[in-house]
Structure 1
């Protein structure tokens, strides 16, 4: 839908002159061609960015900075920083600290905003004068640019079978609860239920908002004030699987998160892979265990919950390997390795030392090929 001025009348106690600023905050690594497309789309917004902040983990970040500086010119202030760590979460926290806008558009470097995306999202934030909504995810949309010069990641060999399995109600149930191909099924909550409702006044104002339990990292926007209170998990390394679900869950415990389908963002999913699939699976499982160990208010209870989930996870990876005819069972072996590491995480005695220890564990996982 498109928003008319009348549909965006703020709640009764709102300041009609309220105006917020937004910044593009991007963590990047070795994707300068795609990053240029990302920045080009940000610069083409009908509501211009207040600032562009990029934190680059590339070895040639200075050369990348010059290419982006030429692209941006003097139209928008540019902050281009080297990454203190090769870590999506550390890079995002660095960008948040360096920006001075009200709203952080924390999209991936291979995400492209449609021209009216920022305008739609910012009008929603401004209509919410009580700051009840802390995060808004953009909706999925087609690419606003031609991307013939950037290869896209291929689907898995089992993608046809996956679509067939998930194409019915029974299939969707199996997809989520047997194969555990749903993030909510592999995330053990720390304190309470997932997600949050959409505010009551949104529908009355004609705002097309949908409840969600996840702000996907490729289409995420968040109030900077909320991120200063609840930063991304700084102990994660590499591309940090699970970081977006964690921050979404924590934000939903102190405010509201939702999706704005009309604010379209295209995620290209560049072909260049950071790590192998088995490493990704190990990190994904271990990251979830780390988050539960760090935040759990009842560790005995959550150790039991985790053990049950890992039993289901081993079965799921066995089935996925078998159905894909991977007779070496690489994902099952990766899950078994992750299970062993996660036991150490869940029984780690000193929470004050947990982050430093887990950083070393991740570095060991990433070294192995």
Structure 2
């Protein structure tokens, strides 16, 4: 069994308080990255430069620091272009790695002697690593703190009553590949797609596709799109003993209207690009989109402007779902960009 090395790429913007927590936990792994890359799109880079200098001194490591235009997809692609190792980890700047995470993830790749696995993700931890928040200079919002413990229950209910169409798409893509017998459902599980704050890939595979810059500055569901592109040729696996805590930074990345519109529009775009667009998939997408709008409608009764704008954006984006799902494959990207323009979303 050959021992592999990995690179880690963090895309960050205006969140030095988060980077100050996450970067040392990556560099301090018992199996540390052979290459650490930070791609920063902050208008003022002074705080992040100071954090990186401090981390380099503390761990005796060099961190490659790159200034980039804003867009998580653009930033990840810029970092990916610099990667030298056979595996690449893409944590968010607010991903807090528990000890031993990378031992588990890399052991999974090393066990895959047949080369069937294209990506490995960690499990989402319920708590932060011990002592990790002692120096924290921010707190998660009350809403995020409430949602985190109920997320698993909500996910189970949604899966039973209003399934996320990404799950269907991922299962359909994965069914075409052989499954290693060591994926036992306990230490390792197959996954339909990977969430951005805890994903890794074989470098040669993710380089073939990169991250879709068409998705705009916030790039919602770029992680799902990348997962599906890998699933067309390889399996995705979750390493359940690898734990990453998502200590979400409180700042909103975009306005309410944009966030609501992208939840509906970007999901349709990713499915139109990567999934079988049969009648069953279209029905499931429409049903799930209506469910999200109902969720946003309930939240909007609070009177909060963000919630009201999010509902308005989601409703406006529904007008474009059927068009996207019905257009020819070679017109999906152009149709999506036209919809973004019509909705007034960023280029």
Fold match (TM-score > 0.5): yes
- After superposition, residues 169-188 of structure 1 pair within 5 angstroms as 172-173=156-157, 175-176=158-159, 180=162, 184-185=164-165
- After superposition, residues 216-231 of structure 1 pair within 5 angstroms as 216-231=195-210
Asked if 1:351 corresponds to 2:331, the answer is: yes
Q: Residue in 2 aligned with 1:110?
A: 94
Q: Residue in 2 aligned with 1:258?
A: 237
Q: Residue in 2 aligned with 1:310?
A: 286
Asked if 1:364 corresponds to 2:328, the answer is: no
Q: Residue in 2 aligned with 1:340?
A: 319
Segment of structure 1 superposing worse, 185-194 or 63-72 = 185-194
Structure 1 residue 46 displacement after superposition: 0.8
**Structure 1 residue corresponding to 2:64, chosen from 70, 79, 93:** 79
Q: Residue in 2 aligned with 1:154?
A: 142
Asked if 1:51 corresponds to 2:32, the answer is: no
Higher helix share: 2
Aligned length: 337
Structure 1 residue 226 displacement after superposition: 1.1
Structure 1 residue 22 displacement after superposition: 1.0
Q: CA RMSD in A?
A: 3.7
Asked if 1:97 corresponds to 2:81, the answer is: yes
Q: Residue in 2 aligned with 1:281?
A: 260
Segment of structure 1 superposing worse, 338-347 or 283-292 = 338-347
- Secondary structure of 1:192's counterpart equals helix
TM-score by length of 1: 0.77
Q: For structure 2, list consecutive stretches of 5 or more residues without a partner in the other structure.
A: none
Answer whether contact 2:10 2:91 (CA < 8 A) is retained. yes
Q: Residue in 2 aligned with 1:124?
A: 108
Q: Deviations over 1:300-320 (max 9, x none)?
A: x46x85366335523552365
Asked if 1:232 corresponds to 2:211, the answer is: yes
Asked if 1:33 corresponds to 2:21, the answer is: no
Q: Which has the larger radius of gyration?
A: 1
- Secondary structure of 1:47's counterpart equals coil
TM-score by length of 2: 0.81
Q: For structure 1, list consecutive stretches of 5 or more residues without a partner in the other structure.
A: 1-15
Asked if 1:69 corresponds to 2:53, the answer is: yes
Answer whether contact 2:195 2:224 (CA < 8 A) is retained. yes
**Separation (CA, whole Å) in 2 of partners of 1:324 and 1:27:** 31
Change (3 A) 1:188 1:366: farther
